[in-house]
Amino acid sequence: MNQVSVAKLIQENNLTVYTGEEYIKERYITTSDISRPGLELTGYFDYYPAERVQLLGMTEISYMEQMDQAKLTEYADVLCGTITPCFVVARALEIPEQLKDAAMRHHIPILRSKLPTTRLLAKMTDFLESSLAERKSMHGVLVDIYGLGVLITGNSGIGKSEIGLDLIKRGHRLIADDRVEVYQQDEQTIMGEAPAILRHLLEIRGIGIINVMDLFGVSAVLQNTTIDLIVNLEAWDKDKQFDRLGTGEQLVQIFDVDLPKIDIPVKIGRNLSIIIEVAAMNYRAKTMGYDATKAFEQNLYKLIEQNSKH
């Protein structure tokens, strides 16, 4: 089961620890769903999702302030389940003493944020979904080209890292070299990032490992990006028919998402960096409604019709 520590939640969402700092390392989050315990404060605990982060906003805190003190003490104790990772309070609101005491007894940290409840909910959900998503590693180089995530794949030694370096020199940004961790963000989006140990690093045969951020600056790297296009490099084979008109669209399924893929032959004298750059620009043009292949086919049909009339 994937899990993320409460300490990581604090770090990535700019939260402050109100109470229970000594218990942070004991608590882990296993679901991206976040609970706002409203019905529970009325005494209804039949379906209480105790394993979720419990988020308290203005509505919950103001209701607590009006509750009978004995009932609040009772319900606060039940809110503190053995698997409850933490409580998070929005708007830096004051926390009722009954909840504070119950959380301390059950070793559950209480965290606070200055953000409004809705914004805090969205921010933590995005973080937890990406952190807890199923992941797999793919061999390749992931580069951001004009805002598009392009995953360059191909057999080992074909020149992926060298092409990545050339693209960086041309002003594009590196996300990952050699090993790309991918995960599904939603029904239509695949994200890619580098493992922590390989972040910002690029391996060039004959030189070794270089740190792209140190050599080219912060603007030359990104932590993660969507994967929009897969470019697969293949050794030139005169007997293989490569797509020349752009009609042979291929799709590669990663998790539940189909991503477009193109094969580019590798041959001495071909400037692959420029070709991949143009492939990204052409893909963007297609997504904006302009398809050069369709335009060519339409012009060809018109020419055939004109000739058939004569």
Binding residues for ATP: 154-161
Looking at 205, 244, 309, 310, which residue is catalytic? 244
Q: What CA–CA distances, in Å, run from 112 to 14, 36, 56, 120?
A: 9, 14, 9, 10
Q: Is 239 a catalytic residue?
A: no
Classify residue 256 by burial, with Cβ atoms within 10 Å: 0-12, 13-18, 19+: exposed
> Strand, coil or helix: what is 140?
coil
Beta-strand pair 141-145/173-176: antiparallel
Q: What CA–CA distances, in Å, run from 214 to 75, 163, 167, 171, 202?
A: 54, 19, 16, 15, 11
Looking at 139, 170, 270, 302, which residue is catalytic? 139
Q: Is 244 a catalytic residue?
A: yes
- CB < 8 Å & 24+ apart, contacts of 286-295: 291/246, 292/246, 293/245, 293/246, 293/247
Token reading at 218? 């912060």
Looking at 52, 178, 200, 228, which residue is catalytic? 178
CA dihedral 26, 27, 28, 29 (to 10 degrees): 180
Looking at 27, 52, 160, 173, which residue is catalytic? 160
Token reading at 142? 């992931």
Q: Which residues are annotated as a binding site?
A: 154-161, 203
Q: Angle 181-198-256 (CA atoms, 0-180°, nearest 5)?
A: 5
Q: Is 139 a catalytic residue?
A: yes
Q: Is 178 a catalytic residue?
A: yes
Which residue, among 1, 65, 63, has the nearest Cα to 32 in the 3D structure? 1
- A 10 A CB-CB count for 86 gives 24
Q: Which residues are annotated as a binding site for Mg(2+)?
A: 161, 203
Contact 43, 69 (CB under 8 A): no
Catalytic residues: 139, 160, 178, 244
